[in-house]
Structure formats: structure tokens, C-alpha cells
A and B are shown apart, each in its own frame.
Chain A
Amino acid sequence: MSRSDYGIVAEFASANGLLAATRAARDAGYRRLDAFAPFPLADVSVVLGHRTAVVPLIAATAAVVGGGLSYLAQYWMNAVDYPLNVGGRPLHSWPAFIPATIIVSALWLAAAAFLTMLFKCGLPRFSHPMFDVPGFERASDERFFLWVSSEDPAYEPRDVAALLQRQGAVAITRLEVTR
């Protein structure tokens, strides 16, 4: 039961403050950062270099796989496993198998996108050190936070705090977690 340093969290009043601080932190050589804002901040993402292209990639693959499976299943069941003469139509009536195929691939697409998001965000995660930050509940309302990880190679609590102070943080917390 030892308490260990988790990093420094600074609270900002404005999105721009956060953006500036993030830039500064990056320039100061910090790499293990995360920013928190009540709405998407594209430019901050850019600064932090998030790569999300994987989501559509996986989704697209899933769509293709799901559709393919659906079509094959229909073909196998109606034309291979129990072939029946249905209204004199060919056993492999491909046009009739299309609609279900499209629908199922759409299902896989959506599901894959959703699950990938959760996975890449590490959700669900009900308990997280960030929730210990005083006033962090306002991160979902109108406040902005920047967190510098203690794991960062360049991590030095005093420097970090100073840097963030300079960026006009309204509050600075040293976050500790129990391990």
C-alpha cells in the first residue's frame, strides 16, 4: 500500500489556454500528456498526434467480412446443405441474397466502429486516477485539463508545475495513486 506519483494535472479556464499549454509542454519535450475538454478539440489532438485512421480501417474490413459471411451462409444453407426447389428458382439465386448481405455488412461496420472506439479509448474504465483531480467533474462541462504523466522520461514535478503555471493554469494538482 504505497502512494506513488501519477503526474501533474493543470486546470485551465479556456480551450485556448489548454491548447497553448499543450503546445508548450510538447515543445518542452514532454511526450506523455493527455488533455481533457468538454468537447472535441481537433487542434489539441493534432498537437498530441492522435491517429484515428485505424477505426475506419477496421470497420471497413468488418463490413466486408460480415457481408461475405452473410452471403456465404445464405448460399450454403439454400443451395448446398438442403437444396430445395423453391418456386422453380435457381438454388443459387444470388440477387435475392444481396439485400440481407448489405444489411448485415452495415451491422458489422457500425458494430466494429463502436467497439474499436471503446478499445482504443480503453473504455469502459470506471475508476481512473484522473477522477481524483479536484473539480475534474467540470471537465465534462466547461473546464479544461492537461495532464503530464509521471512516466514521462523528462518528468520533473517542479519543472512541470512551473511550466504549466506559466501557461496560466488556474489550478495545479499533483496526482497520486495508491498501488
Chain B
Amino acid sequence: MTDSRVERSATEAARIPLSPRYGRGWLAALIASVLMVLVLAYVIAELVVAGIGIWGTNIPFVWGFDLSNYVWWIGLANGCSLFAAILVLRRHSLRTAINRFAEGLALFAVICAAIFPLFHLGRPWLFYWTFPYPATFQVWPQFRSPLTWDFWAIITHLIVTTMLWYVGLLPDLATLRDRARTPVARRVFGSFALGWRSSVRHWAFHQRAYRLVAIAVIPLALVIQSTVAFEFAITLVPSWHETRLPLHYVVSGLESGLGLILLAAAALRGSLRGIDRFIDDEDMNLIGKLLLANALVACLVYAGEVASALLAGPLMVEAILNRLVGHYAGLYWGAIALSVLLPQALWSSRMRRSNPAGILIGLGVIAGIWLDRLSIIVGGMQRDYLPSTWRIYAPTQPEWALFLGSIGLFAAMFLLLMRFLPVVSMSETRHDEYREASS
């Protein structure tokens, strides 16, 4: 819808969003992901009608895919938004390339994450009981429970991530408005642009607000990751009952976020013609280095996990050994291999710059963290206090469907983003170009 303006424009930024013709690939991908969304809808309906008995969960495995997927998604979200926020604050050149879609990814991940805690309830239609409203039975939520903290965490995350994304997007919406051809598009973008006139005064306040929202995001991301960790850490389950768990979740969460960003960046470069002008090799190089560094930290955290467990007494030892060699050992070692060993490939700069490698490593890291979540939750619950209650858990089809469905939803939203909104920030790019020019 925007190509007509391209030749009129002198700046690189004018070429965003680029590649006017999104080929069949995009359409196919969209259709595929929409189908997955339909599956998601079906499973949710089934859940509400039949009950969560259709899952493989039981006593003691009261949680399975539901919580591990939630933890995984929220980790991705926190990773992305944390990273984006830091870039905004550092005013790092990388932000021009990454922020826009990083913030978008964060937002979509939160939406996917929110599905799970809602529908893992036995009676999901009563979810609002966790919100403090004046009910005629005069009972309030119980604020000592991490689940109530979690309720606030998800709502807040949703709102703040949206704001971070929107504030950054505002000037570009104005640009789209001014370039739009069809009156409808013009009006639509116009309404969302709120009448932005790119006045220097606007810019001044905009910059302040953007940075402040970013500042809010940083503690938020950290606290929310920790809150999620608390959900497990404050229980008595032997392999969860650890003060180190929040750290573990923050580190691995950020890593999965970086993995996702790497994946998305590489995928964009691979699919959108000309975008490598904006997400250039240098950017990829930087992301790669960051991910590598994060993987090394994660390695340290994993080591700490084993060490602290071994120091913590017989039950913990048994629990951790069970995760390492027990029925669910595959999950643990898979996590190590994918989230610690695989990123080591990024030591080579060729790998860092190659798109296929980026996609593979990004996917690998994300999958690795997913396995880590499953290993912690499912593998952790397996060795409880009374051996008489020990059992096995295996996910059922509906659980897989729910999981894949949420991925489909995520993919669909991202595909629409890259189609209708600039995937890298135009205004930031212009700004940089100006600075480079003036310096």
C-alpha cells in the first residue's frame, strides 16, 4: 500500500515496511497459523465443556503442559521486553533494528501466555474471583498466594508491554497515515496516530514517555519472572523449594527472549527483501554475541542448580538426580544441549551472520528453554515426599493441540505485524541516519 511513496522519498526509512508484494510464502504461513488458531479455539471449547480431565494431569502431577507452557511464554515475553527496554534506555543503535518487532513479539507472547493460567482452572469462568472486587459473599482474594501476584503480573504485563510498543509506534503510525493511499487506510492509521504532528514538542515529550515506560518495563520484567518462579519456589516440592529459582527463571527467560529475537531477525532478513539494510550484519553479530554470553550465564545457572541441590540434603539430592537420570532425564539433557551447547556455535562470526544458522540456533534455544520448563515442573514433581504417591505424567493430544495452537496464534499475530506495520522503527532509523549524517 505504500510503494508509491518510495521513490518520492529520499530516506532509507521510507522503504519501510518494504517489499510491497508479500509473496505466496507469507500467505501460506498465515493460513497455516490461522488453522492452528482454529485448533486452539476447538481445544479451548472442549476444555470448557468437558473439563480439564481431557489432559494427562493427575495427582501429584496437578500441572503439566499448562503451567510449563505458561512459564515458557511469559519467559519469552519478559526476555523480549526486557531486552527492548534496555536498548531504549541505552539508546543503543541496535534498537532501530530490533525494538519494533521485539516489543511486538513480547506483546504476542504475553497474550499466548495468558491463555494457559486462565484455562488451566477447574472452573475458568470464575477466574475473576482472583480479582479484588466487592462481592456479595464478601470474600476477598488471598494475597499471600503467588497466583494472585501472577494475576496482577499478567494484566500489568499486557498493559505495559502494549504501551511500550504503542508509544514507540506512534510516530510511525503518523508516517503511515501520511503515506497511505486509500482513504480507509489513511483514516485507520490516522485514528491510531491520534493526530501526531511530529512537532518537536511532541518529540520531546514522546522521548521522555518512551524512556519512562521502558524504565517501568525493566523492574516489571524482573519481578514477573521472579513471581512466576515463586509459584514454584515457595511450594514444598523438593526440587522447587529453592531461593535460586527466580534467578534461574530470569536468566533462562532472557535467553529464550534473545533466542526469539535472533530467530525473528534472521527470519525477517531471510524473507523480506532489502531489510538487511536495517537489520544489518552488525546487528546480527551483536545479537549473536549477546545470546552467546547469555547462554554462558545460563550454563553457570544450571551448574548452580546441581550444586545447590547437592548441598541441600538427601531429598533435594534425590530430586535433582531424578531429573538428571530419572524418567524425565531426556528433558533435562535436551535443555542443556539446546540452550547451553548449541549457542556455542555463535563463537564463530560466520554463524552469527548467517541467517539459516540464526534461525536454527534461535529455534534451538527456544526449544531448549521449553524443555527446561517441562523438566523443572514435571520432572520436579516426580519425587515428592511420600513414595506411595509417585507417578508418571504424559501429555495428551489436547495438551499438544493447546500448545501448538498458542504457537499458531503467536505466528499469526507476527505475520500480520510484518505485513501491516513497519517491522523496524522508521522514525528511529531516520533519527540515526540524521545523527550519522550530522556527525
Contact = CB atoms under 8 A, between A and B. Distances in A.
Direct A–B contact in the complex, CB atoms closer than 8 angstroms: yes
B223 A102 contact: yes
B140 A81 contact: yes
B198 A52 contact: no
Contacts of B273: none
A36 interface: yes
Given A106-B223, A117-B205, A121-B205, A142 B216 contact: no
A59 B82 CA distance: 19
Interface of B is mostly: helix
B11 interface: yes
A34 interface: yes
A111 B160 CA distance: 7
B197 A139 contact: yes
A138 B178 contact: yes
10 contacts: A40-B431, A56-B208, A81-B138, A84-B142, A100-B148, A106-B160, A116-B209, A118-B194, A137-B177, A141-B178
Interface of B: 5, 9-11, 13-14, 132, 138-144, 146, 148-149, 152-153, 155-156, 159-160, 163-164, 167, 171, 174-175, 177-179, 190-191, 194-209, 212-213, 215-217, 219-220, 223-224, 226-227, 230, 427-428, 430-431, 434, 438
Contacts of A40: 200, 203-204, 206-207, 431
A44 interface: yes
B430 A142 contact: yes
A74 B132 CA distance: 9
Contacts of B160: 106-107, 110-111
A56 B212 contact: yes
A49 to B, nearest CB: 10
A65 interface: no
B14 to A, nearest CB: 6
A118 B170 CA distance: 11
B132 A77 contact: yes
Contacts of B198: 36-38, 139-140
A113 interface: yes
A106 B197 contact: no
B11 A140 contact: no
Given A15-B438, A52-B208, A99-B230, A109 B199 contact: no
Give the residue among B160, B167, B199 with the most A Cβ atoms within 10 A.
B199
Contacts of A126: 190-191, 194-195
B197 A103 contact: no
A16 B153 CA distance: 45
Interface of A is mostly: helix
Contacts of A131: 197
Interface string A66-100: 00001001100110011010110100010011011
Contact of A45 (B195, B201, B209): B201
B163 A86 contact: no
Contacts of B196: 123, 140
A153 interface: no
A96 B142 CA distance: 10
B148 A48 contact: no
Given A110-B216, A126-B195, A99 B227 contact: yes
A111 B159 contact: yes
Given A40-B206, A106-B216, 11 more contacts: A36-B200, A38-B13, A40-B204, A99-B230, A106-B223, A107-B155, A107-B220, A113-B208, A113-B216, A126-B191, A141-B9
Give the residue among B132, B207, B216, B217 with the most A Cβ atoms within 10 A.
B216
Contact of A78 (B143, B152, B174): B143
Given A39-B427, A78-B140, A34 B200 contact: yes
A130 B197 contact: yes
Contacts of A107: 155-156, 159-160, 216, 220
Contact of A74 (B5, B143, B177, B217): B143
A179 interface: no
A120 interface: yes
B143 A140 contact: no
Nearest to B151: A100
B108 to A, nearest CB: 19
A86 B145 CA distance: 10
